[in-house]
């Protein structure tokens, strides 16, 4: 069985929608509320690597003002420094993140999540039905 983790912010409507979808589809998901359980630099680095995205794309630009960091400066920083910044200020993480085994996506839409979620197989009247998800 695949290990499924959702890095979740319950205040975010996008994150809540991702969790509702996963629950409706009956996936067994470990939910990590990253504001209550901040991610370590190592965990964030691993996630960024799995996402194959620049770390700057994970940052909520609207919240940069709270830590007095202009966006123009942020985009010039290497990923390692941005990851350290997110680890220090987890509220900067802009999106929920879905990790399935060794893959990760931004959980901003069902389509994104379906890219890595395992397929579901159901048995109905002795016939196996393969559903997309």
pTM: 0.86
Q: What's the rounded Cα separation, in Å, for the pair 53 and 57? A: 7
Domain range for 17: 4-131
CATH number of the domain that residue 21 is part of: 3.40.30.10
pLDDT of 110 > 80? The answer is yes
**66: region left, alpha or beta (phi > 0 left; psi from -120 to 50 alpha):** alpha
Length of the chain counted residue by residue: 133
CA atoms within 13 A on the CB side of 40: 3
Q: Is 31 helix (H, G, I), strand (E, B) or coil?
A: strand
Phi and psi, residue 76, nearest 5°: -85, -10
pLDDT of 128 > 60? The answer is no
Render pLDDT for 71-83 as a digit per residue (tens, 0 to 9).
999 999 999 999 9
Q: What is the mean pLDDT of residues 96-105?
A: 97
Stronger pLDDT, 1 or 32, i.e. the higher one: 32
Structural domains of the chain, count: 1
Whole-number pLDDT of residue 132 = 54
Q: What is the mean pLDDT of residues 8-32?
A: 96
pLDDT above 70 coverage of the chain, percent = 89
Give the helix/strand (H/E) hosting 129.
strand 127-131
């Amino acid at each position: 069985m695949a290990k499924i983790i959702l890095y979740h912010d319950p205040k975010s409507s996008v994150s809540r929608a991702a969790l509702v979808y996963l629950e409706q589809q009956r996936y067994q998901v470990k939910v990590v509320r990253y504001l209550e359980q901040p991610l370590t630099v190592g965990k964030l680095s691993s996630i960024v690597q799995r996402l194959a995205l620049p770390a700057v794309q994970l940052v909520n630009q609207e919240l940069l003002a709270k830590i007095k960091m202009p966006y123009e400066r942020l985009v010039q920083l290497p990923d390692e420094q941005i990851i350290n910044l997110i680890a220090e200020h987890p509220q900067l993480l802009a999106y929920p993140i879905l990790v399935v085994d060794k893959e990760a996506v931004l959980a901003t839409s069902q389509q994104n999540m379906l890219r890595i979620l395992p397929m579901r197989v159901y048995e109905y009247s002795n016939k196996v039905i393969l559903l997309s998800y």
